[in-house]
Structure 1
Amino acid sequence: MKNQTILPYEHVLVLGLAKSGTAAAKVLLEHGIAVRVNDGKTAGNEQSINELQALGAEVITGSHPVSVLEDVTTIVKNPGIPYEHPLIQEAKNRQVPIITEIELAGQLAKGPIIGITGSNGKTTTTSLTGEMLIQSNLSVKIAGNIGTAAVEVANNADSEERLLLELSSFQLLGVQSFRPKISALLNIYEAHLDYHKTVDNYVQAKSNIFKNQTAEDMLVYNADDSTILRMVKDARARLVPFSVRKWFSDGACLHEQAIYFQGERIVDVDDIALVGEHNLANILAAISIAKSCGATDEAIKYVLKTFTGVRHRLQFVANIQGRSFYNDSKATNVLATQKALRAFSQPVILLAGGLDRGNGFQALKKDLTHVKKMVLFGETAKKIQSIANELKIESTIVDTMDEAVKLAYNVSSKGDVVLLSPACASWDQYRTFEERGDMFIQAVHKLA
């Protein structure tokens, strides 16, 4: 058992199992803190339940009785559970503090924390930054929204290791004292309004990444994003801008088809392997962070010349009879799909659709000029089809990913791109966007 004074909690309710809840409960137990776990489901959680009970946790599943709040001094909430949940509302009434496991990670981390957030590009930027640090022989652990729960990694990392975290608005909403040494704001786009309700709430959640930073810390920000420019006016951290439009001698920028950092030419755009104009902004952010951590120019150039993308984010899958298949399942909103479409000049067969969150798809219209066919699925299929009909783009609605891939191949020609970029979350048909992307990859390999 570790020193229980590290974490200032007595009796914690972990609300929601899943990956982050299970990790948080295990770490809390390891530090000698009394833990009660509550999850609305039982099926699918049996292994986690058995493990936590064996470690001494009280586990209550199948419903959310108010009695789980008895004697609780803090709640660690799964990021996906909305604050309108009746149990959370009752906890607020009782003035029980509510955090997410990111707050625990911040309290446990011994080394510097790097936090990256934005509406799009978080995974790519985090992966690029991590690779640049690793190639520079700098110690780093990557966690958060990108994979392993942050609390688990923070608990096991030493003081020499940087904790590089991809952070969602859901996670940041539970921040109280969390303070990264370096934070990064990539972009802000209307997203997750079914959860946050208003754009202002969403922006406030994102701004929590820097709310506890001081002049000793650094905030890397997108100087081309008007919302972010307004947000950082309140920041106390040292500001480091990046821009694909303007020259900045104190930040990173695109100038004459080359990438610069603090006036130093780093690499020519033609040497960068990662496709898509939108990725230039992600690259500028990654370079700003990596250089500030001591990464070498040689390591940065090597990564940019060899890094072709992360799984499910404009991931090249295969070339079959001259058709190039790309998996962009992580495109869970319209802006991400717009950026994916702008990455290609070839004719595109677009596979799209998914969970209906009530938003429209009119913004897609201007980026569909080189889409020759749309294959649609999920709850939003008919909504997106109405856009296709307006633009006189042929479209077909299918039920499965296998059908979508086969149809896309049959209507494509040599030189075309077959792009899965759904513009929607996956939860109407799949558990995660990763599962959706994996189904696409499997279907493409079957075709091959």
Structure 2
Amino acid sequence: MKSNDLFKGKKVLVVGLAKSGEAAARLLHKMGAAVVVNDAKRYDENQQAKELERLGIKVICGHHPLSLLEENLDLVVKNPGIPYSNPIIKEAIHRGLSVVTEIEIASLISEAEIVAITGSNGKTTTTTLIHEMLKTSEREPLIAGNIGTVACEVAEKATSSQVIVLEASSFQLLGTEQFKPKVSVFLNLFDAHLDYHGTKDEYSLAKAKITANQSKDDYLVYNMDDPIVSKIANKSNATLIPFSVKQRLSKGLCIQQDSIYYNGQSIISLNSIVLPGAHNLENILAAIGAALTVGARLQQVRHVLQTFSGVEHRLQFVTEYKDRRFYNDSKATNILASQKALEAFEQPIVLLAGGLDRGNDFDDLIPSLGNVKALITFGETKDKLAKTAEEADVKTIVYADGMQEAVLAAFEKSEAGDVILLSPACASWDQYKTFEERGERFVEAVKSLETTLQS
């Protein structure tokens, strides 16, 4: 960790706990900052706040009093999930206070270089691939962010010989000012989280902050096939490493002669790659570019691509039962992610989809529903998804209340040779705390299917 004096004596307000808020509060307190924590959850129900208070940190729970901004604050650290429309955050910005997320703290204190990955879809897979590709290099990789440990916890212990592989969301990136990764990876940009950002332009601006402070000594690995990502890349000061699955490139990463090429060198044949889904080629190209840039061994890159079959909740193969193959893609929390999942299969699909209603429609999903023979839908968006399925001429539509019921209905509407796919195209928060919980309920329902059918 860089100098302990960076935040010494600074007055810092941490708004919102969860994992990132608690980690930031602990670290800043340890570094000598005068920390006040403010969380909406009542004190008597707030174990995190009680533990921080025992460390000597002042905690204010149950509401967000604007009076907390009247204490000559130097900094506000915001939990990424708290919207900027929150009155205390809105007022802090109005008063000209710096409002950041904890990845900003991580980047300021980290001795290790950071490889940061963002995009609307594929972040977790790409982050995991890069981490695995770096494992036998001289740069010991540490995984952080939305996947793994909170970034500032990792940065506190990281050394200059290591590299932090950081999955970064738009929520986190929007709260950055000096964030400067050694390598940025920008996968794609699609309408997502508009309930948080308001417009696609604002969402795009948040994502673009991943490269905003980079210089020519830094690198931006970017998707040349995405026009918005390319436009952002062309404004970056970083050294550009493009990738494309559609074009042949003399510099950067592309597909030609059924192999992946990097700067004209053949890296691996497509037949050797085990990760399913054409959409994962983009993630693979991005991961290769980033990993090799920070010292991955080519032999390890190839080994990972020949053995890595996916991450949990992202097109995760669960089991085969009665000649049906079950896949858990619970991390598909937007339309683009579900499009990619649906396009990964040639077999007939029974699709389980639905969840939190963010106000969008699902018309963009229609072209990807050609192989869907039945839709099992649930959650707040079930009526919208049913209407979309009707327009796509899906023959069978079933409403389900819970995951057990949905899995049973999916099996009953399927035949031997079918794929049964959970790919919700929606966030999980109407019925589940996280997409992980939703995926776990799906896996449990699948694994108990034989017992259910016998009862």
Shorter-chain TM range is over 0.9
1:138 CA drift (Å) = 3.1
Q: Which residue of 2 aligns with 1:433?
A: 435
Partner amino acid for 2:32?
G
Q: Which residue of 2 aligns with 1:165?
A: 166
Q: Which residue of 2 aligns with 1:74?
A: 75
Q: Which residue of 2 aligns with 1:391?
A: 392
Q: Which residue of 1 aligns with 2:283?
A: 282
Q: Percentage identity across aligned positions?
A: 52
Whether contact under 8 Å (1:12, 1:33) holds in the other structure is: yes
Whether contact under 8 Å (1:353, 1:424) holds in the other structure is: yes
After superposition, residues 138-149 of structure 1 pair within 5 angstroms as 138-149=139-150
- The alignment's TM-score, normalised by the length of structure 1, stands at 0.97
Partner amino acid for 1:409?
F
Q: Which residue of 2 aligns with 1:442?
A: 444
Whether contact under 8 Å (1:7, 1:107) holds in the other structure is: no
1:19 and 1:273 map into 2 onto residues whose CA distance is 34
1:416 and 1:136 map into 2 onto residues whose CA distance is 41
Q: Which residue of 1 aligns with 2:84?
A: 83
After superposition, residues 18-97 of structure 1 pair within 5 angstroms as 18-42=18-42, 46-71=46-71, 72-97=73-98
Unaligned runs of 5+ in 1: none
1:255 and 1:3 map into 2 onto residues whose CA distance is 48
1:242 CA drift (Å) = 0.5
1:178 and 1:187 map into 2 onto residues whose CA distance is 20
Q: Which residue of 1 aligns with 2:16?
A: 16
- The alignment's TM-score, normalised by the length of structure 2, stands at 0.96
Alignment RMSD: 1.5
Matched, 1:223 2:213: no
SS at match of 1:148: coil
1:228 CA drift (Å) = 1.1
Q: Which residue of 2 aligns with 1:407?
A: 409
Whether contact under 8 Å (1:337, 1:423) holds in the other structure is: yes
1:312 CA drift (Å) = 0.5
1:133 and 1:275 map into 2 onto residues whose CA distance is 21
Q: Which residue of 2 aligns with 1:127?
A: 128
Q: Which residue of 1 aligns with 2:453?
A: none
After superposition, residues 300-319 of structure 1 pair within 5 angstroms as 300-319=301-320
2:331 and 2:417 map into 1 onto residues whose CA distance is 24
SS at match of 2:274: coil
SS at match of 1:6: helix
- Provide closer, same or farther for how the CA distance between residues 322 and 6 of structure 1 changes in structure 2, counting only shifts above 3 A: same
1:60 CA drift (Å) = 1.0
Whether contact under 8 Å (1:2, 1:30) holds in the other structure is: no
SS at match of 1:134: coil
> After superposition, what is the alpha-carbon deviation per residue over 1:40-75, rounded to whole angstroms, capped at 9, x for unaligned?
113796331122111111111111111222312210
- Provide closer, same or farther for how the CA distance between residues 9 and 336 of structure 1 changes in structure 2, counting only shifts above 3 A: farther
Whether contact under 8 Å (1:9, 1:73) holds in the other structure is: no
2:92 and 2:112 map into 1 onto residues whose CA distance is 33
Whether contact under 8 Å (2:353, 2:423) holds in the other structure is: yes
1:6 CA drift (Å) = 2.6
1:160 and 1:89 map into 2 onto residues whose CA distance is 40
SS at match of 2:437: helix
- Provide closer, same or farther for how the CA distance between residues 243 and 44 of structure 1 changes in structure 2, counting only shifts above 3 A: farther
> After superposition, what is the alpha-carbon deviation per residue over 1:249-278, rounded to whole angstroms, capped at 9, x for unaligned?
221111121111111111111111100001
> After superposition, what is the alpha-carbon deviation per residue over 1:313-341, rounded to whole angstroms, capped at 9, x for unaligned?
00001111111110000100101000000
Q: Which residue of 1 aligns with 2:109?
A: 108
1:433 CA drift (Å) = 0.6
Whether contact under 8 Å (2:254, 2:260) holds in the other structure is: yes
Partner amino acid for 1:398?
A
SS at match of 1:5: helix
Partner amino acid for 2:363?
Q
2:82 and 2:70 map into 1 onto residues whose CA distance is 20
Partner amino acid for 1:152?
E
2:376 and 2:117 map into 1 onto residues whose CA distance is 33
Number of residue pairs the alignment of both structures matches: 448
Partner amino acid for 1:342?
E
Q: Which residue of 2 aligns with 1:381?
A: 382
Q: Which residue of 2 aligns with 1:99?
A: 100
1:428 CA drift (Å) = 0.6
After superposition, residues 141-290 of structure 1 pair within 5 angstroms as 141-290=142-291
Whether contact under 8 Å (1:17, 1:45) holds in the other structure is: no
Whether contact under 8 Å (1:2, 1:32) holds in the other structure is: no
